[in-house]
Amino acid sequence: MKIIIDPQDPSPKFRQLMTQIQRQIVGGVLKPGDKLLSVRKLAAELNINPMTISRCYQLMEKQGWLERKRGVGMLVKRDGLHARMEDRFGFIEPALRALMTDAREVGYSKSEVMALVMQHWDEE
């Protein structure tokens, strides 16, 4: 699990963390049953308050993304994630809408935007 907290991002750290974990679950990096790092370990790794991690994990558990197993820790929930996997579009929709708006404003055609996307798809 690779998490990067951006200090320049105006969104709260727990939201950044939550979004990145959700994206990793939806993208298949984290699979049902995978164990997440403990609150203390992840807090030390990210150099943030353990309460931030705890808040994130609790909220994700409440939303059905994670489950707590006594003696094991926090796991990606095995049941009920199928519907969440179908919501992948929600993670890119705002950026996609912004791209389309910007492209239209500067005069790109649909085919030009598609060509640019295809050209840059394999870049990281």
For residues 9 and 19, what is the distance between their CA atoms, to the nearest angstrom?
13
Question: What is the reported pTM?
Answer: 0.72
Alpha-carbon torsion 49, 54, 37, 89, what sign?
negative
21-65 pLDDT, tens digit per residue, is 998 998 889 999 999 999 999 999 999 999 999 999 999 999 889
Task: Fill in the amino acid letter for 7.
Answer: P
Least-confidence region, from 27-36, 85-94, 106-115 = 85-94
- Quick one: what percent of the chain has pLDDT higher than 90? 62
Cα–Cα separations (whole angstroms), residue 34 to 18, 77, 80: 16, 8, 15
Give the pairing type, strands 66-69 and 73-76. antiparallel
User: In the block, which residue shows the tokens 């870049």?
Assistant: 123
